Structure 1
């Protein structure tokens, strides 16, 4: 089937066409132009903007959705279907769901749950609407790196990041911030948790190196997490990381960019204008400095579209640049050459967005040429 969409503004992920026409044939885009193709019926989207489907490299909300209250839980299979509907309704067509390899009782994370979660994605991903992949997040203070090795063999695992949430470095520069955060998650014995993570510090660099070997052995992209110094970025570069996600200082973001790593920061950070932790790098600051390559929803999928429009509305960048941070940028960072831009031959992942009550919302979403959300 051939379908041509017209919009007053078509953001290709690299530039804007005013107006623009996008023709889909089957699962692919056949043409993108400023002139209406001959002898085809056109669906006029009017005032809606037409964008590429968004690519979310870090979506850490699946397990939160499965446990909305301390006394309430839903099956992970059911919750993934719910999340699929949610992200498509916000224009995300490729989602990297986070699966944490760690034992963290306060967050309800276990290595057993990690294995179960990855298996669910592998089993159900082709029955869902969005393209769901696994972002394997591994705590370097964990003693179960063997689980990461096993899970990296699954075809759905496309990204592996290493993280260290011990206070005094990374995200938690101050122990007081670490204690406040983990107390809010319900952790009952902060001292015991902290003692364990500090006791594992001598093993963290060898663990990073082993995780890099696992990623490269299985053809999985490697990412560092919460880099706070040029030294940490250089270590990631030497280990063959392609992405530096959520660097916490401007120096680390600049170092990552200069070394060819894709710098990914949180959309909630970009939307709010500041990090959730005082003193950590602002996504807007990184964008102005030229060190922001992509945005990720982090823990709140609606923020990705909201951040795109907020960056332009607040004069941080033009809208075409902001769209690229959620589409072409993350697609390139993940090595997904078939999506992220509206161009002939690309996968027909498209989003029609408009303003409602002064905020951007999605009216329609197409995934591989198939209507996935909207009328």
Structure 2
């Protein structure tokens, strides 16, 4: 988004989704900030009675890497990859996004740590040049079991766009892959390893986890606290996992895999984040706890797109339509206000006077929210 003078904007005849109600009316923007919300106006851009919701705030998307490395050993120009990713993000109603950069590599990818830093540089260049539709930050996905995790973290932690770090360990037999059968299906489907190759791979992953996970969690957590980087756990499965997260000073519980872990996270005051695809598909692809079940138990605070950008918007409307006790306003908070607060963005995430004018204009067709227009700071980007 090119730097321009942000003038006045009036939107009227809209169903405006506020934090606690849906208001049929209009709003006024001046200088990229909401200055008034009220009754329908005789002037302004007529939204024909469609919905107007806050711009979505995305904390965990793995989507950028698929543009840069769409096939094994295939690389796309990093600037082009960022632009393509940004366009899809914005068209999905996301106006603030934390792009996941992989920290600590293993054998399931051929993307190097240096290439991850190149991608981070392309994000920064796009932001500096003002040519990105959404506002981009960086989320460091720290695979703490990987031998190179700490070195990779040290090489990028000072980037000013780094806003969030998550601590994850995908070794088999625990967390996301407590089921070894699910682990086998996932990795053999992804890598085409034979049974013998998978057995050797599993043994290496477990040995690396034992050698590195504990110390990397402690060291990275301390450095994040020192630099004001928000911390998240990942795939907690047990109360002990949650207690470890609390001891390390983490704030967000990403993708808890069991009801036990979600309940413990709520009791500990962690914000519980689940994936939109889990909601849309009706369950986890790894056989873990359903995000919809957590929503029904009031154990869901934040929805992320994970690997499908549009799933944030789709899942929010799905929950509002299908889960008792979840109004549209509450469902939209899961993709706007709640993630903004968890990441420390206090100027956005809801339609309220004084907040940033980040909006999505949409209507529902055949049960699907269709994005028509997106504004960031009062400037149209879609």
Range into which the TM-score falls when normalised by the shorter chain: over 0.9
User: 1: distance between equivalents of 2:12 and 2:133?
Assistant: 24
Structure 1 residue 334 displacement after superposition: 0.6
Structure 1 residue 240 displacement after superposition: 0.8
Matched with 2:337 is 328
Map Cα deviations across residues 48-96 of structure 1 (whole Å, 9 max, x no partner): 1000000010010111122334464422221110111111111000111
Moved segments of 4+, more than 6 Å: none
Structure 2 counterparts to residues 1-375 of structure 1, below 5 A: 1-12=7-18, 14-33=19-38, 35-36=39-40, 41-70=43-72, 72-126=74-128, 127=130, 128-144=132-148, 145-186=150-191, 188=193, 189-200=197-208, 201-278=210-287, 280-316=288-324, 317-373=326-382
Structure 1 unpaired stretches of 5+: none
* Contact persistence 1:107–1:185 (CA under 8 A): no
User: 1: distance between equivalents of 2:369 and 2:40?
Assistant: 27
* TM-score (norm. length: structure 2): 0.92
Residues 314-323 or 217-226, more deviating: 314-323
The residue matched to 1:365 in structure 2 has which SS? strand
* Contact persistence 2:145–2:211 (CA under 8 A): no
Structure 2 unpaired stretches of 5+: 1-6
Residues 123-132 or 55-64, more deviating: 123-132
Structure 1 residue 181 displacement after superposition: 0.9
Residues 327-336 or 23-32, more deviating: 23-32
Residues 176-185 or 329-338, more deviating: 176-185
The residue matched to 2:70 in structure 1 has which SS? coil
Map Cα deviations across residues 93-141 of structure 1 (whole Å, 9 max, x no partner): 0111111112234333322222222222222223211011111001111
User: 2: distance between equivalents of 1:7 and 1:290?
Assistant: 33
* Contact persistence 1:101–1:110 (CA under 8 A): no
Change (3 A) 1:187 1:114: farther
Residues 362-371 or 172-181, more deviating: 172-181
The residue matched to 2:114 in structure 1 has which SS? helix
* Contact persistence 2:62–2:307 (CA under 8 A): yes
Q: Aligned-residue CA RMSD in angstroms?
A: 1.6
User: 1: distance between equivalents of 2:323 and 2:199?
Assistant: 45
User: 2: distance between equivalents of 1:270 and 1:21?
Assistant: 32
User: 1: distance between equivalents of 2:66 and 2:107?
Assistant: 14
Equivalent pairs counted in the alignment come to 368
* Contact persistence 1:53–1:94 (CA under 8 A): yes
User: 2: distance between equivalents of 1:172 and 1:138?
Assistant: 17
